[in-house]
Amino acid sequence: MVSLSFSPKISSKNLLIAPVFFHKKKLTGIGVKGIDALIEERVKEKDFSGHEGETLARFPERSGMPSEIVFVSLGNGEKLTHAKVLSSLAKALRVAQHHKKQAISIFVPKQMNQFGQAIGETLEMTNYQPAKFKTGKEKSSLAKHAIKTCVLITRDKKLRESVKKGQTIGDTTNDVRDWVNAPPNVATPEFMEEKVREIGKQNGYKVTVLKKKELEKLGMGLLLAVNRGSAKEARLLIYEYRPAGSEKIQPIVLVGKGIIFDSGGYNLKPSGYIENMHLDMAGAAAVAGMGQLLTKLKIKHPVIGVMPITENCIDATATKPSEIVISYSGKTVEITNTDAEGRLVLADAIAYAVKQYKPRYVIDIATLTGACMVALGEQFAGVLGNDRELIKSLKKSGRATDDLLWELPLHPAFSKAMKGEISDLQNSEPGRYAGASKGAAFIKEFIGKAKWAHLDIAGPAYTTMPKAYEQKRATGFGLRLFAHFLEHLK
């Protein structure tokens, strides 16, 4: 984590980030004459138009002044939001990183005082470095582009707590990114089990690990069918967070798709589609990450994290298209496509969790369909479900954290498409339309009467067009959304 300190005075040693506002063509600087003059001059010369997120670096070369100042516009300041601070501040931090400035200061204008958490999150998330497997010279050169220390220029004592909290959330987001970015020979089923056990030990959670024998006994035919072509046993990982005094409250159940690598199975993915399929455990990673945050954020609600973990691979015993399997719920499923494996592992995990934990809400998070990605791109996850209240608050948390959600329809027509010809259900149908809705409609068959929402994060979990506070590859999508949702839940 970035080492943080606070001071009321600007130090000349560090690069200074100076947030400014621009309203009706008028600039509001940081209130330090010599520094504000530098940007006022550039505004006059029309080098700086002040649109939100615009940055400009100045190099004063005057004693007593920082040798570099990065001005960044936060827009008009009146409607400042968490998301705006994330993206504008990140742009300024990118300039500092680019110039290999490892010691920085950030001036905190009073309008930013209530966004301490966003400052902390941005510092950590922007500093994330995905090239974890480099050695030698390249590794040390990458390290030079990371910020090490940050002084916040402020007199507001309350900022300490909120910035630290933001750092904790940002740092955990980076853990999630690490797990998702790790290749499938590193982030193995054993690795995920170890992580969840570790999280349980550190936080005093009850952790349950169901492996092949137990899964067979329970009759989790769908999870086991996906696992059959893998040399490694499937696992159902569960943590239980039950804060003191919450014994009688119904828990929130989070279920994360944990496909360690999705080859497609016998419906093998072609080149161009298979390469990044280690990302297919991003849902489970977000749920595990939330496990790490629950005690730190002192969440008041009981939360159960459920992660069905397996590879989707091929060998002589692997599931063949047309196989009919009995699910944990008892419904029979024809596996018409072995590449629609996510809904299978989720169906068994959710049916089990609903029965076992009688949840107030079930929220599943999954890199479920390419169709969702085609519809919504890399910015938005799809949200579908059977409870308006729940969907509404998830969308609100999405807007607040910039983990954006867009609702897609559930409709009886989609459920009809998932009916089997000679079995209760089929896991895919030949049509090419509304793939995200049909995936959700399949899962819906296993929800029973629970209140449920499904987040399809196939698009935003892994990015080729990173936002300012992201890097290419894993984003950690979902973690900050969950944290916000659970903190604001009544």
Residues at the interface with Zn ion (CB under 5 A)? 259, 262, 280, 342
What angle in degrees, to the nearest 10, is found between the helix axes of 82-98 and 388-401?
30
DSSP letter assigned to residue 364: E
| DSSP assignments along 263-304, one per residue | --TTSPPPTTTSTTGGGGGHHHHHHHHHHHHTTTTT--S-EE
CA distance 245 to 242: 8
Rule CB under 5 A: say whether 311 interacts with Mn ion.
Answer: no
Q: Check binding of 470 to Mn ion (CB under 5 A).
A: no
Instruction: Give 379-411 as a DSSP string.
Output: TEEEEEES-HHHHHHHHHHHHHHT-EEEE----
Partner in contact with 167, chosen from Mn ion, ligand BES, Zn ion, none, beta carbon below 5 to 8 Å by kind = none
* Binder among 54, 68, 171, 262 for Mn ion (CB under 5 A): 262
Q: Please state the closest distance from residue 245 (CB atom) to ligand BES, in A.
A: 39
The region of 181-189, 211-219, 335-343, 381-389 touching Mn ion under the rule CB under 5 A is 335-343
Binding site for ligand BES (CB under 6 A): 262, 280, 337, 339-342, 367-371, 373, 428, 435, 458
Q: Which residues are registered as beta bridge partners of 444? A: none
User: For residues 129-148, b (16+ Cβ closer than 10 Å) or e, as one string?
Assistant: bbeeeeeeeeeeeeeebebe
Could you say which of Zn ion, ligand BES, Mn ion, none residue 196 binds, taking C-beta under 5 to 8 angstroms by partner kind? none
Rounded to a whole number of angstroms, the minimum distance from the CB of residue 245 to Mn ion is: 42
Catalytic residue among 42, 197, 269, 320: 269
Task: Name which of Mn ion, Zn ion, ligand BES, none residue 403 binds, using a CB cut-off of 5 to 8 Å depending on partner kind.
Answer: none
Contact (CB, 8 A) for 423 and 332? yes
CB of 420 to ligand BES, least distance (A): 15
Is 348 one of the binding residues for Mn ion (CB under 5 A)?
Answer: no
At its nearest, how many Å lie between ligand BES and the CB of residue 196? Answer: 21
Smallest distance from ligand BES to CB 334, Å:
13
Q: Which is nearer to ligand BES, 20 or 371 (CB)?
A: 371
Indicate the residue among 303 and 335 with the shorter CB distance to ligand BES. Answer: 335
Q: Which residue is nearest to Zn ion (CB)?
A: 262
Nearer to ligand BES, 369 or 437 (CB): 369
Residue 373: CB minimum distance to ligand BES, A:
6
Pairing of strands 26-28, 15-23: antiparallel
Residue 221 binding partner per list Zn ion, Mn ion, ligand BES, none, with a CB distance cut-off of 5 to 8 Å that depends on partner kind: none
Least distance between Zn ion and beta carbon 384 (Å): 17
121 or 262: whose CB is closer to Mn ion?
262
The C-alpha atoms of residue 377 and residue 379 are separated, in whole angstroms, by 6
- What lies within 8 Å, CB to CB, of 25 at 6+ separation is none
Q: How many chain residues bind Mn ion (CB under 5 A)?
A: 3
Tell me which of 339, 348, 364, 470 binds Mn ion, using CB under 5 A: 339
Is there binding between residue 403 and Mn ion (CB under 5 A)?
Answer: no
Per CB under 5 A, the segment of 78-86, 234-242, 331-339, 365-373 that binds Mn ion is: 331-339
Query: Residue 337's binding partner, choosing from Zn ion, ligand BES, Mn ion, none, with beta-carbon cut-off 5 to 8 A by kind?
Result: ligand BES
CA distance 351 to 61: 66
Does 124 bind Mn ion (CB under 5 A)? Our answer is no
Residue with Cβ nearer ligand BES (102 or 227): 227
Is 177 noted as a catalytic residue in this protein? no
Shortest approach of ligand BES to residue 289 CB, angstroms? 18
Of 167, 162, 165, nearest to 147 by C-alpha is 167
Question: 124 or 403, CB closer to ligand BES?
Answer: 403
Q: Which is nearer to ligand BES, 133 or 433 (CB)?
A: 433
Residue 370: which of Zn ion, Mn ion, ligand BES, none does it interact with, CB under 5 to 8 A by kind? ligand BES
Separation of alpha carbons 16 and 13, rounded Å: 9
Coil, helix or strand at residue 354: helix
Q: Which residues contact 367 (CB under 8 A, 6 or more apart)?
A: 257, 259, 279, 280, 282, 283, 342, 456, 457, 458, 461, 462
Query: Is 343 considered catalytic here?
Result: yes
The DSSP output letter for 315 is -
Under rule CB under 5 A, which residues in 5-64 are in contact with Mn ion?
Answer: none
In Å, what is the CA distance from 389 to each residue of 303, 401, 453, 469, 490? 18, 19, 10, 30, 12
Identify which of residues 230 and 367 has a Cβ nearer to ligand BES in the complex: 367
Q: Does residue 20 sit in helix, strand or coil? A: strand
Quote the CA–CA distance of 98 and 144 in Å, as a whole number.
Answer: 9
Distance CA 385, CA 363 (A): 9
The whole-angstrom separation of Cα 442 and Cα 410 is 10
Report the catalytic residues: 269, 343
Binding positions for Mn ion, rule: CB under 5 A = 262, 339, 341
